[in-house]
Amino acid sequence: MGGEVRVKTLKTLGRGVMGAAAVLTMVTITAGEAYAQAGRERVIEGNRLYDEGRFSEAHQKYLEAMAEAPGSPVIPFNDGNALYQDADYARAMEAYERAIETGDPAFASDAWYNLGNALFRAQQLEESLEAFKQSLRLDPSDPDAKHNLERVLEQMQQQEQQQEQGGEDEQDQQPQEGQDGDQNPNEDQGDQQDQEQDSEDERDQGQDPSEG
């Protein structure tokens, strides 16, 4: 059967962070994809290296493929996955954005989804939230996008609570600092009185009674 086969592979990306295994979508290319024929062999090689966990080498193959087929959405999409697995989230974002910019609706939802994952890893939570929302607009039935969107919201709420707690701690410390500060003027007044007394003693000593 001709056409493109899109394979969802489960990649464990830290269950403690996302709350569940995140899903990255890898795309394979068949002989029927005319737009990708130029880079087909290199994409196949890149996919093989990716499956072996050799993500840096896979990235290089995808770069070679993109040079031959710059208009393909498949290649930057898979390149983004390789960069993501190599923890190079900034460049993974750029790759997913290139896939989105091709305007191919077959890749848009998954590209937004994977972009949301990369943004989450980079702790760009607001941008991650918007990416998952966009993914859901294009595919409202995607349970993984729904789950990750909720996880981002939870993370944002936790950060807000931590910031509020930090502000309360600072306010609790202010009265103590004020008490310390109140003591300093008294000390300064005491020093000033001592200095004035010393000046009077010096003036008394400087007067000679016999001269009067």
Can you spell out the DSSP letters for 163-205? Answer: HHHHHHHHHHHHHHHHHHHHHHHHHHHHHHHHHHHHHHHHHHH
Whether 56 contacts 86, CB under 8 Å: yes
pLDDT on residue 97: 96
Higher pLDDT residue, 58 or 72? 58
Instruction: Give pTM, 2 decimals.
Output: 0.67
pLDDT digits (tens, 9 = 90+) for 14-71: 222 333 334 465 555 443 344 446 788 899 999 999 999 999 999 999 999 999 988 8
Question: How far apart are alpha carbons 209 and 212 in whole angstroms?
Answer: 5
Query: What SS3 class is residue 134?
Result: helix
Environment class of residue 193 by beta-carbon count within 10 Å: exposed (0-12), middle (13-18) or buried (19+)? Answer: exposed
Give Cβ neighbours of residue 60 (< 8 Å, ≥ 6 apart). 46
Per-residue tokens: 100: 């989105």
Q: Which residue has the higher pLDDT, 85 or 209?
A: 85
Which range of 26-30, 93-97, 167-171 scores highest in mean pLDDT? It is 93-97
Question: Alpha-carbon distance 212 to 208, whole Å?
Answer: 7
Residue 12 has pLDDT above 70, yes or no: no
